[in-house]
Amino acid sequence: MKVLAVSDRVLNRFYNTNVRDHYPDIELVIGCGDLPFYYLEFLISSLDVPLLYVLGNHDGGLQYTSDNRELTSVHGGLYIHGQVVNVKGLLFAGLNGSMRYRPRAPYMYTEAEMRGQIARLVPSLLWNRRKYGRYLDVLVTHSPPYGIHDRDDLPHTGFKVFLQFLRVFKPRYHLHGHIHVYRRSTVRQTRVEETEVINIYPYRLLNIPVIAS
pLDDT confidence of residue 76: 92
Burial class for 210, CB neighbours closer than 10 Å (0-12, 13-18, 19+):
exposed
Domain extents for the chain? 2-207
| 182 φ/ψ angles, rounded to the nearest 5 degrees | -120, -10
pLDDT confidence of residue 213: 63
One pLDDT digit (tens) per residue for the chain, 213 residues: 999 999 999 999 999 999 999 999 999 999 999 999 999 999 999 999 999 999 999 987 777 766 777 777 898 999 999 999 999 999 999 999 999 999 988 999 999 999 999 999 999 999 999 999 999 999 999 999 999 999 999 999 999 999 999 999 999 999 999 999 999 899 999 999 999 999 999 999 999 999 876
Residues contacting residue 186 through CB under 8 Å, at least 6 positions apart: none
* Cβ pair 146, 159 in contact under 8 A: yes
Is the bond leading into 171 cis (omega within 30 degrees of zero)? no
Pick the CATH number of 2-207 from 3.20.20.70, 3.90.550.10, 3.60.21.10, 3.30.110.30: 3.60.21.10
First and final C-alpha spacing in the chain: 15
Opening angle at CA 23, ends 28 and 7, nearest 5 = 55
pLDDT confidence of residue 70: 79
120: amino acid identity, one letter: R
| 22 φ/ψ angles, rounded to the nearest 5 degrees | -80, -25
Dist CA 170 CA 151 (whole Å): 24
Burial class for 66, CB neighbours closer than 10 Å (0-12, 13-18, 19+):
exposed
β-strand partners of 5: 30, 204
Q: Is 138 helix (H, G, I), strand (E, B) or coil?
A: strand
Residues contacting residue 76 through CB under 8 Å, at least 6 positions apart: 41, 44, 45, 51
pLDDT confidence of residue 212: 73
Burial 140-162 (b: 16+ CB within 10 A, else e): bbbbbbbebbbeeeeebbbbebb
